């Protein structure tokens, strides 16, 4: 009997890789820029912490004009105030000049977070869901419209996350992307020290990945995760030394800023001595404040801050910093799901969302600073919304899951629309108009 060959097994069909939603990311970033930039100059007077940072920026401009300036707001690094001063130099000492650079930082933060989500997850739906949730989460929208330091820090951290995710996803670009990560980390630290816990994470992730791989030449091996082709020593240069160099460079103008009747505290004390002074100033904030709060209240979204509530520019206006109640509350079980999926399904991006939230919030759980405020939840909210976006993507696997996930996104947009007048300083009907949005009495 003739030998009959068995039919060849069909070749495995490679899985289709989702298409990069770069065009959508750019379009949505542009729309976010328009939304946050609309009526940016209202209110036309400084409000909330602008009263602290604008005088410091003016002194930097005075230093540029005359060679003399006073070192104000010494409890924080200089970079964010330098950028505010740049905006004022370009557009004048007016509301647009005060807020144009924080607005730009907010737009960059938005776009960078979307790109970080894509490169970390390669999940098209999660990336676009994150775009919706981030734009409507209140935190980023409000801080992109006020001259505060936090948005510059958050923007630099977002860029660092984006570049680090690209370094892992595209090792052939690893060296360049790690260098850009380091520069962004340095800028985040130079805006506000709150960045410290997240600033060290890329380096620790690199170290842990190489250590768990069991490489015999731990310091010099170029093989293995997270970025093949880069040794641990080289990663230390990009993620450790370069950020410190960038951070130190941002203090250069401080050598010429003086104190009343004293020379520059930086020139007098040196960089290390100045940092001891900064720490002392940070530790002195112990007087209770009307809007102070603690981290459990941030997590539950039960205590916000009135950045503005007064008659200004011909109308009663308000800016209430709370989180979007729907996405903030739904984000909590989403974080739990991402932690479980990250551990048991080995999903790196889900574990990163849960870990990033824990690290960025954990600073305030253990911080010795007794007076804390809800704006410290800005960066943790990014990770919470990322977890919710990833969970929405996972929900689509369930029966009628598309409708459930879509309902979450539609609900977030609807709540944002309802609260828009009270977070965008729109004209209100009168002094008691705020009561319409007081879903919780603790928001008052």
Q: What confidence tier does 2 reach under pLDDT thresholds 50, 70, 90?
A: very low
pLDDT at 286: 63
DSSP designation for 410: H
Helix (H) or strand (E) run with residue 329 in it:
helix 325-344
Closest CA to 159 of 191, 205, 132, 122: 191
Mean predicted lDDT score pLDDT of the chain: 92
DSSP line for 284-338 = T--S--TT-B-HHHHHHT---EEEEEEEETTEEEEEEE---HHHHHHHHHHHHHH
Domain range annotation of the chain: 43-443
Helix (H) or strand (E) run with residue 273 in it:
helix 265-283
Residue 192 confidence (pLDDT) above 60: yes
78 and 251 Cβ atoms separated by less than 8 Å: yes
pLDDT at 287: 64
pLDDT at 222: 83
Q: State residue 319 phi and psi, 5-degree precision.
A: -135, 110
pLDDT at 318: 96
Q: What confidence tier does 221 reach under pLDDT thresholds 50, 70, 90?
A: confident
214-228, 295-309, 398-412: segment of lowest average pLDDT = 214-228
In a 13 Å sphere around the CA of 44, the CA atoms on its Cβ side amount to 5
Q: What confidence tier does 367 reach under pLDDT thresholds 50, 70, 90?
A: confident
- Taking residues 45-53, what's their average pLDDT? 95
| pLDDT tens per residue, range 97-124 | 999 999 999 999 999 999 999 999 999 9
| pLDDT tens per residue, range 259-309 | 776 788 888 888 999 888 888 887 776 666 777 889 999 999 999 999 999
81 and 56 Cβ atoms separated by less than 8 Å: yes
Residue 312 confidence (pLDDT) above 60: yes
Question: What count of residues does the chain have?
Answer: 444
| pLDDT tens per residue, range 231-267 | 999 999 999 999 999 999 999 999 999 877 678 888 8
362 or 219: which carries more pLDDT confidence?
362
Residue 39 confidence (pLDDT) above 50: yes
Q: Strand pairing of 257-258 and 69-70?
A: parallel
Closest CA to 74 of 245, 287, 260, 199: 260
Residue 1 confidence (pLDDT) above 50: no
Query: Measured between alpha carbons, how far is 439 from 444 in angstroms, rounded to an integer?
Result: 9
Query: Measured between alpha carbons, how far is 97 from 86 in angstroms, rounded to an integer?
Result: 8
Q: What is the pTM of this model?
A: 0.93
| pLDDT tens per residue, range 59-93 | 999 998 998 899 999 999 999 999 999 999 999 99
Q: What confidence tier does 12 reach under pLDDT thresholds 50, 70, 90?
A: very low
219 or 387: which carries more pLDDT confidence?
387
Query: Measured between alpha carbons, how far is 236 from 243 in angstroms, rounded to an integer?
Result: 10
pLDDT at 377: 96
Query: Measured between alpha carbons, how far is 337 from 330 in angstroms, rounded to an integer?
Result: 11
Residue 5 confidence (pLDDT) above 90: no
- Taking residues 194-215, what's their average pLDDT? 90
Contacts of 20 (CB under 8 A, 6+ apart): 118, 124
Query: Measured between alpha carbons, how far is 142 from 320 in angstroms, rounded to an integer?
Result: 9
Query: Measured between alpha carbons, how far is 21 from 35 in angstroms, rounded to an integer?
Result: 21
Calculate the dihedral angle through the C-alpha atoms of 146, 149, 151, 155, rounding to the nearest 10 degrees: 150
Contacts of 339 (CB under 8 A, 6+ apart): 350, 351, 354
Q: What confidence tier does 339 reach under pLDDT thresholds 50, 70, 90?
A: very high
Burial (CB count within 10 angstroms: exposed 0-12, middle 13-18, buried 19+), residue 17: exposed
Query: Measured between alpha carbons, how far is 222 from 233 in angstroms, rounded to an integer?
Result: 10
- Taking residues 380-400, what's their average pLDDT? 96
Residue 13 confidence (pLDDT) above 50: no
Q: What confidence tier does 16 reach under pLDDT thresholds 50, 70, 90?
A: low
DSSP designation for 240: I
Contacts of 141 (CB under 8 A, 6+ apart): 35, 36, 106, 135, 416, 423, 424
| pLDDT tens per residue, range 126-136 | 999 999 999 99
Could you give the percent of the chain with pLDDT greater than 70? Answer: 95
């Amino acid at each position: 009997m003739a030998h009959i060959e068995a039919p060849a097994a069909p070749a495995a069909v490679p899985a289709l890789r989702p298409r990069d939603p770069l065009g959508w990311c750019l379009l949505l970033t542009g729309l976010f820029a328009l939304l946050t930039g609309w009526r940016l100059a209202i209110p036309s007077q400084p409000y909330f912490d602008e009263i602290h940072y604008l005088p410091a920026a003016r002194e930097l401009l005075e230093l540029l004009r005359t060679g003399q300036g006073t070192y104000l707001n010494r409890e924080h690094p200089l970079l964010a105030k330098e950028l505010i001063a740049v905006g004022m130099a370009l557009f004048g000492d007016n509301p647009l000049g005060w807020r144009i650079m924080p607005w730009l930082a907010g737009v960059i933060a938005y776009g960078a977070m979307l790109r970080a989500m894509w490169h970390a997850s390669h999940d098209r739906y999660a990336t676009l869901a994150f775009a919706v949730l981030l734009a409507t989460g209140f935190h980023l929208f409000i801080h992109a419209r006020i001259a505060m330091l936090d948005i510059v820090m958050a923007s630099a951290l977002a860029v660092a996350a984006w570049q680090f995710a690209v370094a892992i996803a595209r090792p052939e670009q690893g060296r360049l992307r790690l260098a850009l990560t380091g520069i962004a980390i340095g800028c985040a630290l130079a805006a506000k020290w709150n960045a410290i816990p997240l600033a060290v994470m890329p380096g620790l992730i690199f170290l842990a990945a190489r250590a768990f791989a069991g490489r015999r030449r731990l310091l010099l091996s170029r093989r293995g995760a997270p970025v093949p082709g880069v040794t641990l020593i080289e990663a230390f240069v990009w993620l450790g030394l370069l950020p410190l160099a960038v951070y130190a460079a941002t203090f250069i103008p401080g050598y010429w800023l003086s104190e009343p009747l004293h020379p520059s505290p930086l020139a007098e004390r040196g960089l290390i001595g100045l940092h001891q002074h900064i720490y002392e100033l940070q530790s002195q904030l112990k007087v209770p404040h009307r809007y102070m709060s603690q981290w459990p209240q941030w997590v539950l979204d039960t205590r916000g801050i009135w950045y503005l509530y007064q008659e200004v520019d011909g109308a009663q206006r308000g800016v209430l910093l709370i989180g979007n109640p729907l996405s903030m509350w739904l984000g909590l079980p989403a974080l739990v799901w991402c932690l479980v999926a990250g551990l048991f399904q080995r999903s790196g991006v889900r574990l990163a969302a849960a870990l990033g939230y824990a690290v960025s919030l954990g600073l305030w759980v253990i911080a010795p600073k007794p007076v804390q405020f809800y704006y410290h939840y800005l960066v943790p909210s990014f990770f919470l919304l990322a977890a919710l976006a990833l969970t929405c993507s996972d929900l689509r696997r369930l029966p009628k899951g598309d409708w459930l996930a879509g309902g979450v996104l539609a609900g977030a947009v609807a709540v944002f629309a309802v609260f828009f007048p009270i977070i965008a300083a729109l004209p209100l009907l009168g002094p008691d108009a705020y009561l319409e949005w007081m879903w919780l009495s603790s928001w008052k």
